[in-house]
């Protein structure tokens, strides 16, 4: 459900989208050219108008603006956790680097950072002039909240703190990178809105498993990026089929083809599928991403990287 733009008066000229779900109004506003004071005043006015509407008890405002020149951001998201989004992000970044691109990865999964483990590095970033210096791993550069806190410690952060941490990672020293892969947390909450508000991605990749439950949430992720005018580069189907290493028989514990069918229904590109693989899980747990080596998994991630880059650079 959308709010009537006319209720916002002259400010509606800057309103790009508005939606109301379960009492939460989400407003996306174009703020290019506004000073900090003007942005704050505009946000205050929009909040007041939205909160005055029936059935609205919370308002989220995302202020978007044209980015300064720098690396292009690719957001990798999912509607729910447990679909292998972080593993795909890490290997996609490495595969792009092996295709000759200068790539960085930001672990924006604030409450469950896993990129240091996936990339096999415990090195902590240094800071210079209050700017974080990414660490090197497998030919790419990395910044993660997981590098800044002690292992095993819970992060009990509210939305503004999580969004502030993301800003610090995005504003790290990425000066020589062409592309930044952003491994987002699951869902469509504050971190996603903060990224879109402050550092609009050049495109988004959605990861889902084939079963209906995951696809319901993947559709929400697609809807968020569409309503905030972030191009959808495509959908990846993960854990699609499993081949028994002993008998060679193939089964589909999570179903098959669901993500491809959903991509067609949503009119977004289908980038490809990855099988459920014990060797991929073992290599990831050991910090040896398959895309950094050779073999079928590396070839699969290379094909996905080529498909994403083709959509990014048509």
The domain defined by 5-64 carries CATH number 3.30.300.130: yes
Q: Are 110 and 162 contacting, i.e. CB atoms less than 8 angstroms apart? A: yes
CB atoms under 10 Å from CB of 198, counted, come to 17
Burial class of residue 52 (count of CB atoms within 10 Å of its CB; 0-12, 13-18, 19+): exposed
Ranges of CATH 3.40.50.300 domains, the chain: 72-312
Rounded-to-integer distance, Cα 193 and Cα 224, Å:
9
| Residue set of the binding site for ATP | 79-86
Rounded-to-integer distance, Cα 19 and Cα 220, Å:
12
Spatial CB neighbours of 36, under 8 Å, sequence gap ≥ 6 = none
Q: pTM (2 decimals)?
A: 0.73
Walk along the chain (314 residues) and give the pLDDT tens digit of each residue: 788 888 998 888 888 888 888 899 998 888 877 887 888 899 999 999 999 998 899 999 888 776 556 799 999 988 666 778 899 999 999 999 999 999 999 998 877 788 989 999 988 889 888 889 999 999 999 999 777 766 655 555 555 666 677 788 888 999 889 999 999 887 666 777 777 777 889 999 999 888 666 577 778 888 888 888 899 999 998 877 656 666 656 655 555 667 788 888 889 999 988 877 777 778 888 889 999 988 888 999 999 999 999 998 86
Provide long-range contacts, Cβ within 8 A and 24+ apart, for 34-40.
Answer: 34/65, 39/63
Ranges of CATH 3.30.300.130 domains, the chain: 5-64
Burial class of residue 211 (count of CB atoms within 10 Å of its CB; 0-12, 13-18, 19+): middle
CA 266 to chain centre: 19
Which class would CATH give 72-312?
A: alpha beta
Residue 29: which H helix or E strand, with range?
strand 24-30
CA 92 to chain centre: 13
Spatial CB neighbours of 20, under 8 Å, sequence gap ≥ 6 = 1, 2, 3, 26, 55, 56
């Amino acid at each position: 459900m959308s709010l009537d733009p006319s209720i916002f008066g002259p400010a509606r000229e800057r309103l790009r989208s508005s939606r109301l779900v379960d009492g939460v109004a989400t407003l996306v506003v174009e703020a290019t050219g506004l000073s900090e004071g003007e942005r704050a005043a505009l946000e205050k006015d929009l909040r007041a108008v939205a909160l005055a509407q029936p059935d609205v008890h919370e308002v989220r405002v995302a202020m978007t603006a044209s980015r300064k020149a720098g690396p292009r951001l690719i957001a990798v998201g999912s509607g729910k956790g447990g679909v292998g989004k972080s593993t795909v992000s890490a290997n996609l970044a490495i595969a792009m680097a092996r295709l000759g691109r200068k790539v960085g990865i930001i672990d924006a999964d604030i409450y469950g950072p896993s990129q240091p483990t996936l990339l096999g590095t415990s090195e902590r970033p240094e800071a210079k002039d209050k700017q974080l210096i990414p660490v090197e791993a497998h030919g790419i550069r990395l910044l993660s909240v997981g590098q800044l806190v002690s292992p095993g410690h819970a992060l009990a952060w509210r939305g503004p703190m999580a969004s502030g941490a993301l800003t610090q990672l995005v504003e790290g020293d990425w000066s020589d990178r062409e592309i930044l892969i952003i491994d987002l947390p699951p869902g469509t909450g504050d971190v996603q809105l903060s990224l879109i508000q402050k550092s609009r991605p050049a495109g988004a990749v959605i990861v889902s498993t084939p079963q209906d439950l995951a696809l319901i949430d993947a559709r929400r992720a697609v809807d968020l990026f569409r309503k905030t005018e972030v191009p959808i580069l495509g959908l990846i189907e993960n854990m699609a089929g499993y081949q028994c290493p002993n008998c060679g028989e193939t089964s589909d514990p999570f179903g098959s083809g669901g993500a491809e069918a959903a991509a067609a229904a949503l009119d977004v590109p289908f980038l490809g599928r990855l099988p459920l693989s014990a060797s991929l899980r073992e290599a990831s747990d050991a910090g040896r991403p398959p895309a950094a080596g050779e073999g079928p998994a590396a070839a699969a991630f290379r094909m996905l990287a080529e498909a994403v880059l083709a959509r990014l650079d048509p």
